[in-house]
Chains A and B, each alone.
Chain A
Amino acid sequence: MIQLKNVFKEFGGRMAVENLSLQVPAGEIYGLLGHNGAGKSTAIGMMLGQVWPTGGEVQICGFEVTTRRREALGKVGAIFESPAFYDYLSGRRNLQILSTYTAPTTAARIQEVIDWVRLGNRADSKVRTYSHGMRARLALAQALLPKPELLILDEPSDGLDPEGIHEMRQTILRLHREMGLTILLSSHLLNEVEQLCTRIAVLNQGRKVFEGTLAETRQREKWVRVRVGDFGWAVQGLSQNGLIAQHRDGALIRLADGVGTDSVVSFLVGRGMAVFEIAPEEETLEGFYLTLMDQQRQDS
């Protein structure tokens, strides 16, 4: 659905995106992660033909965006953080305006989308009277109007309250389930990405530093939670004997290659230390992301 090949983007001598290659297969919910300024929005801008790449190829639905815009974006819907509308016009008029930029859309189709996003009786009110949540629904409606196959969501939960975030998350899942849409989701909310996405890419300073499934992020580094009388003393001994490679958070150890939890337990018990708990720790996306960023900082 989306294919970026060795894409570069430079803004006045500053490299915003560097040698980025991405592939989003059809039917996936693909997460794009990275801190502010990592290049996520620039990458999305290039996918939507709003930002010209300095080099490389950007293909959407099999068509090069820069040269075959009409074909590439014909079946694409997009939502940006803080969606902007013509506040002095009604929600329905906004949808009428925005839909024509893709293709002529019937009034029935507009009503269908309004009903789908549950904008109901407020569709004819001026957008300036809408709450954040209603604006988010209107943004979703405009993205769904062209009957998209691909949905690009750039921080869709930005500015929403917890209830709104939950509703947006459920809607994304519903879109994926009921309409079979391919979704590219850029978000700061790691929890949201973890709950929605099947595959992620992490950007740092314009470069892709990880791409893989969510399962891979969990398996990448195996941490073990241990609860002992004196964690400091325990890790000192374990490290000296080459049983662990790393420790963190006063409770987690990463075993050295070829070492099992049984060796750790027998070492600690042999030294007279009570072991209350030892269990493999399920790595969260947040933990994975922070470790990855930490490694990047150390590498640079």
Chain B
Amino acid sequence: MFYQYLRNELWKLFGKKRTYIGFGAFLVGQNAMLLMFHFTHWQEGVEKLLQGNGYIPTEYVSALTVALIMLIPQIVMLMPLYTALVGGDLVAKEAEDGTLRMILCRPISRFQLLSAKWAAGVIFSAILVLVLGATALGFARCWFPWKGMFVFAPGMVFNTLSASEGLKLYIYCHLFLTMNASVILGLAFMFSCFNMKPAAATILALTFLFVNLVMEGIPFFERYREWLLTHHFQVWLLVFSQPTPWERVAESLCVLFAFSLTSFLVGAAAFQARDIKS
């Protein structure tokens, strides 16, 4: 039965055009960044950085390197926006449109319905992240050769990898990115379970993330950074570190999983208690 509920949610989710806005925006963004990287001083800067550290730039300015460079700003800016948009819609849009009332006059339990919606949201997050990663790599490959990978994130990672090792970690990091996307979607989903408009749920989720991001940048909060969600979102980049800080990765994954579960349960409790009226 759960499979059928999930199939329903996927039909609904992938049947509407606004679900694809994120995919479209990513494609446009990736191509714009690719052109910027190629035709501005951006590429030059990366080459100088490599040269300054004793590497041959032509060996590492590759499809994998550029794909990752393109990915970082999109992960920070666009991914939260689109996952929050979809997460905020999952329950609140149905309540607003009146279709939730049509569903809840049937014998399905509210918890089952929410579980199916949440699972559909996680599937959407995974597809969004995988498409994002695949297209970034595909577009980058059109312009750049298949060579070694250079990863640089200030204060976190500075590493060079062979193409095969780089590809393996590139695929690997997308699993962690899926986790990040699911957490953001879950946060918006939680707000969506309360009696509010879909836009309000999305805005609240983004506000929460923005506040986390701002606090993380303030030196005073340095000692509290483990409490900030955005700190744990960095885990996907840590897989490129040599050696990989597994303890930190495990800790962040636990925090993200717990956060996701908590937001689902809070949302489910709020949804269970509320009255569904026209």
Query: Could you name 25 residue pairs across A and B whose Cβ atoms are closer than 8 Å?
Result: A45-B276, A48-B105, A49-B104, A49-B105, A52-B273, A52-B275, A73-B106, A73-B107, A80-B101, A83-B98, A84-B97, A84-B98, A85-B99, A86-B99, A89-B15, A93-B11, A96-B8, A98-B102, A100-B4, A100-B5, A100-B7, A100-B8, A101-B107, A102-B108, A146-B106
Are A45 and B11 in contact, with the CB atoms below 8 A? Answer: no
Kindly identify which residue among B102, B107, B275 contacts A83, using a CB–CB cutoff of 8 Å. Answer: B102
A191 within 8 A of B: no
Shortest CB–CB separation between residue A40 and chain B, in angstroms?
Answer: 12
Told that A41-B278, A76-B105, A100-B7 touch, could you supply 20 new A-B pairs with CB distance under 8 A?
A45-B276, A50-B276, A70-B107, A73-B106, A73-B107, A74-B107, A80-B102, A82-B98, A84-B98, A84-B99, A84-B101, A84-B102, A93-B11, A97-B8, A97-B11, A98-B103, A102-B106, A102-B107, A102-B108, A104-B1
Q: Is the CB of A101 within 8 A of B275?
A: no
B106 adjacent to A101 (CB under 8 Å) = yes
Compute how far the CA of A52 lies from the CA of B99 in the bound complex, rounded to whole angstroms. 19
Measured in the bound complex, the distance between the Cα atoms of B277 and A41 in whole Å is 8
Q: Chain A residues near B97: list those with CB within 8 A.
A: 84
Count of chain A residues with a beta carbon within 8 Å of a chain B beta carbon: 37
Residue of A nearest to B103 (CB): A101
Task: Say if the beta carbon of B17 comes within 8 Å of chain A.
Answer: yes
Select from chain A the residue with minimum beta-carbon distance to B104: A50
Is residue A210 contacting chain B, with contact meaning CB distance below 8 A?
Answer: no
CA of A84 to CA of B276 in the docked complex: distance in angstroms?
14
User: Contacts A45-B275, A50-B275, A50-B276 known; A72 to B104 CB distance under 8 Å?
Assistant: no
Complex CA–CA separation, A284 to B7 (angstroms): 51
A152 to chain B: which residues have CB within 8 Å? 105
Whether a CB of chain B sits under 8 angstroms from the CB of A88 is yes
Q: What residue in chain B is nearest A76 (Cβ atoms)?
A: B105
Report B136 CB to chain A, min CB distance, Å. Answer: 29
Is B16 part of the binding interface, using a Cβ–Cβ cutoff of 8 Å?
yes
- Of B1, B99, B103, most buried by chain A (CB within 10 Å of CB) is B99
Q: Which residues of A contact B107 (CB under 8 A)?
A: 69-74, 101-102
- With contacts A102-B107, A152-B105 taken as known, whether A88 is within 8 angstroms of B98 at the C-beta atoms is no
Q: Does residue A142 face the partner (Cβ distance < 8 Å to B)? A: yes
Q: Write out the residue numbers on chain B whose beta carbons fall within 8 Å of the beta carbon of A50.
A: 101, 104-105, 275-277
Instruction: Report A148 CB to chain B, min CB distance, Å.
Output: 11
**Contacts A50-B275, A51-B276, A78-B105 given; does A89 touch B98 at CB 8 Å:** no
A49 to B104, CA, bound (A): 8
In the assembled complex, B109 has its CB within 8 A of some CB on chain A: yes
* Identity of the chain A residue whose Cβ is nearest the Cβ of B113 in the assembled complex: A101
The reply to whether the CB of A81 lies closer than 8 angstroms to some CB of chain B is yes
Chain A residue numbers with a CB within 8 Å of B98 are 80, 82-84
1/0 contact trace for A46-75 toward B, CB 8 Å?
A: 001111100000000000000001111110
- Contact residues in A for B16 (Cβ distance below 8 Å): 86, 88
The number of chain B residues touching the other chain, given as a range, is 20 to 34
Digitize B251-278: 1 where CB-to-A-CB distance is under 8 Å, 0 elsewhere: 0000000000000000000000101111
A50 to B273, CA, bound (A): 10
A41 cross-chain contacts in B, Cβ below 8 A: 277-278
CB pair A45–B109 under 8 Å, yes or no, is no
Task: Please give the distance in Å from A12's CB to the nearest CB on chain B.
Answer: 11
Q: A89 to B7: give the CA distance in the assembly, Å.
A: 14
Chain B contacts for A42, CB-based, 8 A: 277
Interface hits, B1-27 → A, CB 8 Å: 1, 4-5, 7-8, 11-12, 15-17
By a CB distance below 8 angstroms, the chain B residues around A104 are: 1, 4
Contacts of A73 in B (CB 8 A): 105-107
Given the complex of chains A and B, what is the CA–CA distance between A76 and B277 in angstroms?
18
Residue of A11, A73, A100 with most partner-chain B CB within 10 A: A100
Q: Please report the C-alpha to C-alpha distance between residue A97 and residue B277 in the assembled complex, in whole angstroms.
A: 21
B193 to A: closest C-beta gap in Å: 15
From residue A39, how far is it (CB to closest CB) to chain B in Å?
12
Shortest CB–CB separation between residue B178 and chain A, in angstroms? 26
Cβ–Cβ < 8 Å partners of A80 in chain B: 98, 101-102, 105, 278
On chain B, the residues within 8 Å of A85 by CB distance are 99, 102
Considering the chains assembled together, what is the distance between the CA atoms of A71 and B106 in angstroms?
Answer: 10
Docked pose: A146 CA to B105 CA in angstroms: 12
Of A76, A78, A84, A98, the most chain B CB neighbours within 10 A belong to A84
Nearest CB in chain A: distance from B87 CB, A: 18
Does B275 lie within 8 Å of A51, measured CB to CB? yes
Contacts of A82 in B (CB 8 A): 98, 278
Given A45-B276, A51-B277, A82-B98, are A88 and B17 neighbors across the interface (CB < 8 Å)? yes
